[in-house]
Structure 1
C-alpha cells in the first residue's frame, strides 16, 4: 500500500492517496490532547478550591497517559488499529465525561475525581504513534516519509498551541468542565473517522524473538527524546528565572518561549525539505548535540532579547531531533512493533518533560539561571553521546537505508 511521489514535497505528502482523509481525522482526535490538560486543571481547581488537589489530579492523569502508552500501543500492533483504537477512545471519552460530571459543580470528593482522571489517562488511545505507523504504511519513499513525519510533528505542535486557546474561549461562556466534554467529543469523533480509513494496518502477530531486538535498537531515539524532553521543560522555567533575576517584566516571557516554538516549527519544516546525505542515526545525535551547544551558554545572554534569539536557535534543533527520533524508531522496529516503537519515543519525551520541570524547580532555588542552562545543555549533550554510540553501524549503512523486511 505504499506509493512513490515524483515530487517529494509537503504538497506531495498530502497528495498521497488516503493521506488527507486519514491525517485530518487523526489531527481532530489528537486536538483533544491539546485541550484536556488545561481543562482538567481549571475544572478540578473550580470543583475543589485547591491548587494542590488539581495539580495532583493532573499529575495522575499525565502519568497514566504517558507511562501506559507503550502497553496500549502493543494492543494496536497485536489486534490492529480498527479493533483496538476505537474501544480505547470510547472508554477514554466516557471516563472524561464522568470527570466532567464530577467537576461541573463545586463540592465533589477529591478521591473520586482523582480515580476518574487516572482511569481516563490509562485508556487514552495512542493516536500519534498510530498515525506515524500509518505514514509508514502509506509511503515507501524515505525522502517523502521524512517530510510526512516533519509535517506531522509541526502539526502536533500547533495543536498544543491552539488547544489551550480553544479552552480559554470556551470557559468564557461555560464552566471549565465543558472543555473536558469538548476534549472527549474531539477524541471519540476523530477516532471514529480515523478507524474507517483503509490506510490503517491490520493485526500483526509478533514472530518469536523480534520484539526484544526491536526494544534494544530503540536506545538511541529514546535517549534523545528523553534528553530533549528534560531540556525543553527545564528551559520554560529557566526563562522565567532569567527574566526575574534581571528584573524584566515577566509578561515578556511568553514571547521568548514563542520564539522557541517558532524556531522548532521552522526547523521541523526545513528538516523535512532538505535531502540529507547523512544517515538517520548521525543526524539524530547531531541535532541533539546542536541543541545542547546552544542551550549551555544561553544563560550568559546579556539581555532578554539576546536570550530570545538563542531560544529561537535552540528551537531549530527540537523538532528535527524529535522527528529524526521517530524516523529512527520506525527504521529500527519490525513490522509487528512499529506502533510500540513510536510510543516508546513519545513516552520518553513526555516523561522527560515531567521530570525536567520538577528538577528545574529544585535547581533554580539553589543555582543561578546560568548554571541551570548549562545543566540543561549538558543533558542534551549526554543524550547525543548515547545516540552516537552505534556510529559504526550508522556509517556502514547508506543514508536513509530502506527497512529490512
Structure 2
C-alpha cells in the first residue's frame, strides 16, 4: 500500500521535516528504531569495560572488540539479505533473541573477575554475527513510506542526524550506569534496549505495510550486492568507504593534536564540534530541494569533506581546529545521507535492505581501516601532513566517482518523483 501524500506534497511546496513525521505510522516505527539503535550506541563501551573488568586484560578486551566489529560489519549484508528474503517480521525476531541471549551470557561471565578470554571472545564474535540490522531496516521502511524523492531525502536526513545523536549519547549513558553498577550492567542494558526497540519496530504497522509491499517470494533469492546494483550503488559504496576512512582517522588526529599541546581533555570539544557540524549540515542538506542529482552531489560532498579535513592540519591551535572540525562535520551527514539515497535509487523492493547494508558496511569498515592506518602512521608522520594523508583516500574516491555520473538506473529514480 502506498503512503498517503503529505500536505506539503499536495500543496506543491517542498516537504518539511514535520511532513516526514506526519506520515502515517512513521513516528512509531522511527521511535522504535531509535530505541534499538541506542543499544548500538551503548554496546561498544559496555563490552570494552565489561571484558576488561572480567578478564583483567586490555589486550583481551581490544582483541574481543576487534572480533565483534569484524563479525558485525562484514556479515551485515548477509543479515540484511535475510530480511529482504524473509521479511523483517520473520527475520529480525530470531536474530535479536539470539543476540540478546549472547549478550546476557557475556554479562554473566564478566560480572566478576576471572572470566575466560577465549570463551568470552567466542561469545562476542557470535553476538556480532547476529547483530540485527535495525538501521538498514528502518531506511528500507522510510523508502516504502516516502515514495516522493524529496520527502525521502528529508526522512533520511532526519534519520541520520537522530542516529548520530543516539550514538553520541550512548557512551554518556554507559558512563552514568557504571558509576554505580558493574561494567557488565551496561551489556545487559544494551541487550534490553535492542530487544524492546526491535520488537516494537517489527510490530509497527509501518513494517507490516512494508512487508506487504515488498519482499522476495518463498524460494526466491534476493540479489543485492554491489555488482547487482549498477554504477549508482558502486559509487555509494566507494564514497562511503572513503568517508569511513576519514572519520576513523579524525578521532586519533584530534587526540594527538590535543596531546601535543598538553590539553588532552580538549579532544572532547573538538569531536563535539564535529558532531554539531554534522547535525547542522545534515538538517540543512535535507531541507534543500536540490536541482543537482544525488549521483552528482555525492562526489562534491566527498570533495568538500576531504578538502576541509586536509586543511584542518594547518590549524595553529585548538580553537581553530575545533572550528575546522565543525566545518568538516558540515559535509559528513550530507555525504552519508546522499550515499544512502543513491543506493536506494539502485535498489529493487527485494534488495532495499541489503543495498543499504552495503553502504553501512563499507562506512564502518572504512572507519576501522582509517583508525588502524592513522594509528600506525601517527608516530612517524608530522601531524600537519597526516591530516591530508588521512583525507587522501576520500579525495581519490571523490575524483573516481565524479566520472560517469548521470548513468545507471535513472528511469527508476524518475519514476518515483512526484
Q: Same fold (TM over 0.5)?
A: yes
Query: Where does structure 1 lack aligned partners over 5 or more consecutive residues?
Result: none
> Does structure 1 retain, via aligned residues, the 8 Å contact 2:231–2:407?
no
Q: Tell me the residue number matched to 1:234.
A: 249
Within the candidate set 218, 235, 250, 2:233 is matched to 218
Q: Tell me the residue number matched to 1:114.
A: 121
What is the alpha-carbon distance in structure 2 between the residues aligned to residue 3 and residue 384 of structure 1? 37
Instruction: Give the CA deviation at 1:380.
Output: 1.5
For residues 208 and 73 of structure 1, do their structure 2 counterparts lie closer, same or farther at Cα, with a shift above 3 Å needed?
Answer: closer
Q: Tell me the residue number matched to 1:4.
A: 5
> Does structure 1 retain, via aligned residues, the 8 Å contact 2:232–2:342?
no
Tell whether 2:313 aligns with 1:299: yes
Instruction: Give the CA deviation at 1:401.
Output: 3.0
Instruction: Give the CA deviation at 1:4.
Output: 1.9
For residues 6 and 219 of structure 1, do their structure 2 counterparts lie closer, same or farther at Cα, with a shift above 3 Å needed?
Answer: same
What is the alpha-carbon distance in structure 2 between the residues aligned to residue 167 and residue 298 of structure 1? 31
Tell whether 2:373 aligns with 1:372: no
Query: What is the root-mean-square deviation in Å for CA atoms of aligned residues?
Result: 1.9
For residues 352 and 345 of structure 1, do their structure 2 counterparts lie closer, same or farther at Cα, with a shift above 3 Å needed?
Answer: same
Q: What CA deviation, in whole Å up to 9, does each residue of 1:198-252 have, x standing for no partner?
A: 222323245898865326542101111110110111011112222233x241111
Within the candidate set 59, 62, 70, 2:77 is matched to 70
For residues 243 and 208 of structure 1, do their structure 2 counterparts lie closer, same or farther at Cα, with a shift above 3 Å needed?
Answer: closer
What is the alpha-carbon distance in structure 2 between the residues aligned to residue 74 and residue 328 of structure 1? 19
Q: Tell me the residue number matched to 1:161.
A: 168
What is the alpha-carbon distance in structure 1 between the residues aligned to residue 87 and residue 264 of structure 2? 48
> Does structure 2 retain, via aligned residues, the 8 Å contact 1:279–1:399?
no
Within the candidate set 252, 257, 268, 2:271 is matched to 257
**Which segment is superposed worse, 216-225 or 105-114?**
216-225
> Does structure 1 retain, via aligned residues, the 8 Å contact 2:296–2:406?
no
Within the candidate set 382, 394, 400, 1:386 is matched to 400
What is the alpha-carbon distance in structure 2 between the residues aligned to residue 177 and residue 207 of structure 1? 39
> Does structure 1 retain, via aligned residues, the 8 Å contact 2:239–2:398?
yes
> Does structure 2 retain, via aligned residues, the 8 Å contact 1:292–1:380?
yes
What is the alpha-carbon distance in structure 2 between the residues aligned to residue 63 and residue 224 of structure 1? 20
> Does structure 2 retain, via aligned residues, the 8 Å contact 1:13–1:147?
yes
Q: Tell me the residue number matched to 2:363.
A: 349
> Does structure 1 retain, via aligned residues, the 8 Å contact 2:148–2:416?
no
Instruction: Give the CA deviation at 1:399.
Output: 12
Q: What CA deviation, in whole Å up to 9, does each residue of 1:73-102 have, x standing for no partner?
A: 000000000000111011100100011011
> Does structure 2 retain, via aligned residues, the 8 Å contact 1:279–1:397?
no
Instruction: Give the CA deviation at 1:387.
Output: 2.1
Aligned residues: 402
Instruction: Give the CA deviation at 1:353.
Output: 0.7
Q: What CA deviation, in whole Å up to 9, does each residue of 1:152-188 have, x standing for no partner?
A: 0001101111111111111111111111011101111
**Which segment is superposed worse, 92-101 or 216-225?**
216-225
What is the alpha-carbon distance in structure 2 between the residues aligned to residue 242 and residue 278 of structure 1? 37
For residues 348 and 208 of structure 1, do their structure 2 counterparts lie closer, same or farther at Cα, with a shift above 3 Å needed?
Answer: closer
What is the alpha-carbon distance in structure 1 between the residues aligned to residue 6 and residue 411 of structure 2? 21
Q: TM-score, normalised by structure 2?
A: 0.92
For residues 214 and 50 of structure 1, do their structure 2 counterparts lie closer, same or farther at Cα, with a shift above 3 Å needed?
Answer: same
What is the alpha-carbon distance in structure 2 between the residues aligned to residue 80 and residue 370 of structure 1? 49
> Does structure 1 retain, via aligned residues, the 8 Å contact 2:96–2:132?
yes
> Does structure 1 retain, via aligned residues, the 8 Å contact 2:311–2:388?
yes
Q: Tell me the residue number matched to 1:184.
A: 191
